[in-house]
């Protein structure tokens, strides 16, 4: 059986000790698939099939890392679920790459339709809490230095935050809103879109890890299993709106690449010269995130472990 890195032990136990239904929208994305595997580790694959309901763009079969099939239904079917106590993980959204490729009006309409479909279903299906997977891009919505696609994506994510926070305030239920910056861990579904995946693939192929940016690029990586342990801890706590940024230690990409290089024999980094004085800095409030982890008894996952888990999941990847 394929082993998947686990939730924090106390969170895994808390989920096993209760029986609420868990709904995941956007279940076929990176965060959705990783969360399914985390839940399977905590509850067992049989319980996931019974307790977890997955929704996305279409009917399809998702697979846990051990090969267990999980049915995903179209998002429009969400409202047909019977009313019962439910935790909703809202990860469905057209991301920045789609904002770059689509007409702005169509992009706005598509994301608004997704958000409204989820929002309108929450109370009828019996949602006690909703997790909103927002983005650090929300902090760039009004940044003139950001690209048009980043501003558009960020503005729509910020609108999503407000929409679901208002639902929680109106109903007395819980909303957990996380601005996710850079994540690490298994199940990356678009390796070409992430520097971390590119570095991992270089290392796995025995190539020097190429860091090509002509400017300093600073990111802070948070392990998915750590983030989702915190998300469930906050959802299980109940009522109110909680907001947080994904944390981690801010690092220049050459230092990120060096950690990955140390995971393979003879690994090395090829850092292009930094010729542009303008740094690219993109990370959230790591101190507040660390304080939340500590408050809920969640031990931080060592970054080298999270990077190794990322690499293990990419072994054998073919573009």
Domains parsed from the chain with CATH numbers: 9-190+220-250+285-304 (3.40.50.720)
Higher pLDDT, 318 or 28: 28
**pLDDT value of residue 1:** 35
Residue 268 has pLDDT above 70, yes or no: yes
In whole angstroms, give the CA distance from residue 88 to residue 171. Answer: 15
Is the pTM higher than 0.75? The answer reads yes
* Confidence class for position 316, pLDDT limits 50, 70, 90: confident
pLDDT one-digit tens code per residue, 175-221: 999 999 999 999 998 888 899 999 999 999 999 999 999 999 999 99
* Confidence class for position 3, pLDDT limits 50, 70, 90: low
Average pLDDT over residues 284-313: 96
**pLDDT value of residue 318:** 67
In whole angstroms, give the CA distance from residue 177 to residue 97. Answer: 22
CA R_g for the chain:
19
Tokens coding 53:
């309901």
């Amino acid at each position: 059986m394929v082993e998947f890195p686990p939730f924090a032990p106390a969170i895994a136990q808390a989920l096993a000790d209760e029986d609420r239904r868990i709904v995941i929208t956007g279940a076929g994305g990176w965060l959705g698939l990783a969360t399914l595997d985390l839940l399977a580790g905590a509850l067992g694959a049989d319980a996931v099939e019974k307790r977890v309901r997955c929704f996305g763009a279409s009917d399809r079969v998702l697979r846990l890392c051990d090969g267990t099939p999980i049915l995903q239904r179209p998002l429009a079917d969400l409202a047909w679920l019977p009313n019962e106590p439910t935790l909703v993980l809202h990860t469905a959204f057209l991301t920045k790459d789609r904002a770059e490729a689509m007409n702005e009006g169509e992009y706005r309409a598509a994301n608004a339709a997704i958000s409204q479909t989820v929002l309108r279903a929450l109370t009828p299906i019996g949602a006690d809490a909703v997790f909103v997977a927002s983005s650090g891009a929300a902090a760039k919505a009004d940044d003139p230095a950001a690209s048009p696609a980043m501003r558009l994506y960020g503005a729509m994510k910020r609108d999503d935050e407000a929409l679901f926070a208002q639902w929680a305030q109106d109903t007395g239920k819980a909303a957990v809103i996380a601005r996710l910056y850079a994540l690490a861990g298994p199940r990356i579904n678009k390796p070409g879109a992430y520097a971390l995946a590119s570095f991992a693939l270089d290392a796995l192929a025995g190539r020097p890890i190429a860091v090509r940016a002509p400017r300093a690029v600073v990111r802070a990586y948070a392990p998915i299993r750590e983030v989702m342990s915190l998300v469930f801890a906050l959802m299980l706590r109940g009522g109110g709106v909680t907001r947080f940024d994904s944390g981690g230690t801010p690092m220049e990409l050459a230092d990120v690449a060096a950690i990955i290089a140390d995971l393979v024999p003879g690994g090395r980094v090829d850092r292009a010269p930094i010729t542009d004085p303008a740094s690219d800095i993109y990370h959230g409030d790591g101190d507040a995130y660390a304080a939340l982890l500590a408050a809920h008894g969640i031990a931080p996952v060592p970054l080298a472990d999270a990077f190794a888990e990322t690499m293990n999941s990419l072994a054998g990847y073919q573009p």
